[in-house]
Structure 1
Amino acid sequence: MSWSGCVACLPRVAVVGGSLTGLTAALVLRDLGCQVDVHERSAAPLDGRGGGIVLHPVTVRYLRENTLLDLRTVSTSATFHRYLAADGTVLDESVRRYRFTSYNALYGPLLRAFGRERYHIGHDVTGLAQDADGVELAFSDGNTARCDLVVAADGVSSFVRRTVLPDVQQLYAGYVAWRGLVDERELEPGTAAALDDALTYHLGPGMLALTYPIPNYDGKAEPGRRLMNLVWYRNVAAGRPLADLLTDRWGTRRDVSLPPGSVRDEQVAELRATAAAVLPRPLAEVARRVAEPFLQVMVDVGVPRMAFGRVCLVGDAAFSVRPHAGAATAKGADDVWSLAAALTQCEGDVRAALRAWEPAQLQLGRALLERTRELGDGVQFRGDWVPGDPSVAFGLRRPGDSADMRDS
């Protein structure tokens, strides 16, 4: 994609947030000819964050179109969607053919493709002022930067969103997701066999536990060398129970997550004891062997607008959705590619492009938010999930559209 016209007319772009969506935005817009800088508030690159990711074609579109990634070497596959009863027997098994990867497997190639020269770590945005000719960002170190377009990819707690939409709040969904990773070589043979080649679910009162394989820390993705990714959704009452859970081992009350190594020992012990009591044996073993479980609070965020003159919100900064559709990363990438198409169509006119881009992305975000709310409330509170129901399949625009990715 490109547009005609003078080089001086090409927008200067500031991407706020240097994770997967931010890096994808930086690369796609740079390739249009824009001068792009990424401003990441963390003082260090973001490798090592997160766990498994459900692959969708749009998630890896940039890497594949630019031959920067061989999908077979950075992802794992699962042929079946399998449901286990409490005693470990198989309740249902359907063919799905999902592919999974890890955060690091995508972040590393994206960062290498963009480079470090314009990837600014330690750039915590503290101010945003817009006028007719551009936008000025202020940073916590006292420096400023001026640009023609701000792409806010700064996540669920987005500073940019809080600035342009101060009344939009995170809404607690009533449950949390415990997550963790285990090298499958540490699992008993029976456990490995029970979880092999599958996205494995177990449903219980007020909970859903699931596993799927992802590449190992060293990138190994072949069976026998992978990591088993665990996600366990559990209801936690708002107020004191949630606040206690989110208090880390140093006494600090966290907001929406507890990273690996920060969960208090008594909380880890409770997690493992409950797993042994209520989960099927294969899933219980995975939970028991997770060395450093970490935690994400399930929240909903939805915005009435995504475009504000020369500022736009993408990915989780606009719509933070529960993970049940496996599509949050895909939604961020779709926002970016659609933005690039709008800029091309509008010959680099930022305001016109954002006006053209916003309606479809708002519609997509609202639909995904509603679907993930329905899925989450169905399993955690109504208890009306049925093993084998195709409506719970992963997908961005419809259930199941994440399945059947080709290997290359």
Structure 2
Amino acid sequence: MISDSPQPYRGSRALVIGGSIGGLTTALLLRDIGFEVDVYERTATPLHGRGSGIVLQPDTLRWFEERSTVDTSALKTSTSRVQYLDRANTVIAEEDRRWEYTSWGTFYQALLGDFGTEHYHLGASATGFDDDDGGSVTVHFADGRSETAELVVFADGINSRARARFDADAEPGYSGYVGWRGTVPLTALSPVTRALMGDAITYSVVPDSHITLYPIPGEEGVDAEDQLMNYVWYRNVPAGPELTELLTGVDGHVGAVSLPPGQVQERFLTELRASAAALLAPAAAEVVLATAQPYLQVVLDVRSDRMARGRTALLGDAACSARPHAAAGTAKAAADAWALRDALLTTDGDIEEALARWEPAQLELSRALLDRVTEMGDRSQFHNTWIPGDPSLRFGLYGPGVLHPESRQPQPAA
């Protein structure tokens, strides 16, 4: 591990609530500047991402590029172009643009490998916190224990239990559509489909919907024979009984924000496959039809109007969970973490002042991202104005195709 960062916080303790990618990135960066860090994850078993894909933007990858000895080539795949297919598998729009990808599990395991497991606590469900008079914060857990630290960061996801202490009105809102997800080994696809989509991020746009597909690392590695074709297909479902039925698993339980592989009722899988064959580009349909166990996620939006409160911070999806059309969720969490590190290094040990300096820019980044992806989703799902090749629809945390904050420029109207 590279260890030449300034460490002004030696002797101070930090707690990170939430042990996913954003939480681990935060924990690594806080430890890097001297904090003793413990991570608390409410899930009792090791986390997994069901093989789902992540588009790698610079903020996401930055820990490994700057502060780790991990070989990033072992974490990612890449493609050289973006393409849109029609119902005849004809490329109707194309752009030379390189993107890199990883799988959730691959990236999480690499972060956890750097952090280690000694201070990573599973089955630790935080229920609340108190600001102490002595310049610390005490977090309370469901099992009765309490932990005290000089800094507490809540990175506990879209269902954050702490968010109401920052903004009581910030509740997740349903977008009107869900994302069907799945992966298929590239080796299981036809040679024609592999040749067409193996070096591209591919879109198939249909009325009130679209699907995005790209290759990601498999469990065995990043070589072509190990890769998986990952996809998310956005489909409208009215709120109410229809959504509840869809989210009712084969075990009878209703998923709040997702339904995992193996739990989707067969009647919905039958309809999904029939619709794929009837609507999508044949190559995209082949991937959906070849998926053994598709699963789904409810597309939700939420944004807190506060991210800092004394010595506590709200970060990543806990502060702002935005629709995935800009492929910026993990990048936003990492950007929050890096900005927090930088603020802590500029305030001579004053944690409250650091959080106060950190908050405004991160709130603005959240607002701009959520506004943009809401417009993108509405264009696809409700207005049918998602035009193949439109540059305003590019990925990017800081704007369409904008991957670095210093490169951000005003974008033309869609």
- Common fold: TM-score over 0.5: yes
State the 1:222 CA deviation: 2.4
Q: Distance in 2 between matches of 1:122 and 1:14?
A: 15
Q: Distance in 2 between matches of 1:282 and 1:51?
A: 19
Q: Which residue of 2 aligns with 1:143?
A: 145
Q: Distance in 2 between matches of 1:121 and 1:182?
A: 30
CA contact (8 A) 2:19 2:40 kept: yes
Q: Deviation digits for residues 368-389 of structure 1, max 9, x if unmatched?
A: 1111111111111111111111
1:241 is aligned to 2:242 = yes
State the 1:62 CA deviation: 1.0
1:302 is aligned to 2:303 = yes
* Identity score, percent: 48
Please give the residue correspondences for 1:221-370 in structure 2 after superposition, counting only pairs within 5 Å: 221-370=222-371
Compare 45-54 and 372-381 and name the one that shifted more. Answer: 45-54
State the 1:307 CA deviation: 0.5
Q: Deviation digits for residues 93-116 of structure 1, max 9, x if unmatched?
A: 111111111111211111111111
CA contact (8 A) 2:54 2:104 kept: yes
Higher relative contact order (CA 8 A, sep 6+): 1
State the 1:47 CA deviation: 3.1
Q: Distance in 2 between matches of 1:111 and 1:186?
A: 31
Normalising to structure 1: TM-score of the pair?
0.95
Q: Counterpart of 1:2 in structure 2: which amino acid?
A: P
Q: Indicate the SS of the match to 1:142.
A: coil
1:152 is aligned to 2:140 = no
Please give the residue correspondences for 1:8-407 in structure 2 after superposition, counting only pairs within 5 Å: 8=11, 10=12, 12-49=13-50, 51-132=52-133, 133-219=135-221, 221-402=222-403
1:2 is aligned to 2:6 = yes
Compare 42-51 and 393-402 and name the one that shifted more. Answer: 42-51
Q: Distance in 2 between matches of 1:196 and 1:49?
A: 21
Q: Distance in 2 between matches of 1:230 and 1:260?
A: 14
Normalising to structure 2: TM-score of the pair?
0.93
Q: 1:48 to 1:324 in 2, by over 3 A?
A: closer
Q: Which residue of 2 aligns with 1:406?
A: none
State the 1:302 CA deviation: 1.0
Q: Distance in 2 between matches of 1:347 and 1:277?
A: 62
State the 1:400 CA deviation: 1.3
State the 1:212 CA deviation: 0.3
CA contact (8 A) 1:307 1:313 kept: yes
CA contact (8 A) 1:3 1:347 kept: no
CA contact (8 A) 2:246 2:268 kept: yes
Q: Which residue of 1 aligns with 2:410?
A: none
- Where in structure 2 are there 5+ consecutive unaligned residues? 405-414
CA contact (8 A) 2:220 2:226 kept: no
Q: 1:274 to 1:344 in 2, by over 3 A?
A: same
Q: Distance in 1 between matches of 2:139 and 2:328?
A: 30
Q: Counterpart of 1:197 in structure 2: which amino acid?
A: D
Q: Counterpart of 1:77 in structure 2: which amino acid?
A: S
Q: Indicate the SS of the match to 1:301.
A: strand
Q: 1:72 to 1:401 in 2, by over 3 A?
A: farther
- Where in structure 1 are there 5+ consecutive unaligned residues? 404-408
Cα root mean square deviation, aligned: 1.4
State the 1:49 CA deviation: 3.9
Q: Which residue of 1 aligns with 2:409?
A: none
Q: Distance in 2 between matches of 1:159 and 1:233?
A: 28
Q: 1:375 to 1:48 in 2, by over 3 A?
A: closer
Q: Distance in 1 between matches of 2:395 and 2:33?
A: 31
CA contact (8 A) 2:64 2:72 kept: no
Compare 275-284 and 71-80 and name the one that shifted more. Answer: 71-80
Q: Distance in 2 between matches of 1:171 and 1:60?
A: 29
Compare 328-337 and 133-142 and name the one that shifted more. Answer: 133-142
Alignment: residue pair count: 399
Q: Indicate the SS of the match to 2:46.
A: coil
Q: 1:150 to 1:67 in 2, by over 3 A?
A: closer
CA contact (8 A) 2:131 2:138 kept: yes
CA contact (8 A) 2:51 2:183 kept: no
